[in-house]
Amino acid sequence: MSSIRPYRPSDRASLFDVCVRTADAGEDATGVFSDDELWGLLFAVPYVERNPSLAWVVESDDGRVIGYIVATDDTDAFEQWFRDEWWPRFADRFPQPAEPQTREEKMLAYAYGRRPGAEPNAAAYPAHLHIDLLPETQGQGLGRRLIETLFDELSRRGVKGLHLGMDPANTGAAAFYERLGMTPLPTAPGGQSYGVTFAG
């Protein structure tokens, strides 16, 4: 039976793996970009570098990491760190596209455009998360347990709310968030966002 435990630095490579294998609206995105690590460098690994105490993994009974949740309790502070300290490390590896056309170029433009104040929901819902689970984890309640573990910790810290953005094509994820009591938030065209507030 799989179990949930806090993230450890030795899990870093597994986060890259799980991230790319779930990145295409929940499906495997291996080979979609020229470098499979791009997904993890945007949506998983910076969170454990910045906020390792807000990260948990699902470990299978044979010791593999097969899912995770990562988060920040302060989106604007995180995005400033991402812009100023994290992403510049990868500028040579992933040059900024002049006129983004391909899916990869548009993702890189997103990376270069991340900044504090860009997310309109961050004021009322300052935390945000990313959760990814391999198909073998499904049906065990692990996603709910990961979310509840994070929410308990954010509540303990006095965080007033959390938002998340997702690919609208991932209809299963949308239904999952709604079952957890999250409500739709205003979102730019082409996206979908949910939010939840925590009791003070």
pTM recorded for the entire structure: 0.95
- Is the pLDDT at 126 greater than 80, yes or no? yes
Rounded Cα–Cα distance for residues 94 and 88 (Å) = 10
Q: Long-range pairs for 33-41 at CB < 8 Å and ≥24 separation?
A: 33/103, 33/104, 33/107, 34/104, 35/93, 35/94, 38/94, 38/104, 38/107, 38/108, 40/15, 40/16, 41/90
Question: How far apart are the C-alpha atoms of 175 and 171, rounded to whole Å?
Answer: 6
pLDDT for residue 186: 87
| Model confidence pLDDT, tens digit, residues 151-192 | 999 999 999 999 999 888 888 889 999 999 999 998 888 889
Instruction: Report the alpha-carbon distance of residue 145 to residue 166 in Å, rounded.
Output: 19
Specify the amino acid at residue 86.
Answer: W
Q: Which domains does the chain have, with CATH numbers?
A: 3-197 (3.40.630.30)
Residue 200 pLDDT greater than 70, yes or no: no
Confidence of residue 44 (pLDDT cuts 50, 70, 90): very high
Using an 8 Å Cβ cutoff, are 160 and 75 in contact? no
Q: For the ranges 41-55, 98-112, 185-199, which has the lowest average pLDDT? A: 185-199
pLDDT exceeds 90 at position 59:
yes
What whole-number distance in Å separates Cα of residue 123 and Cα of residue 76?
9
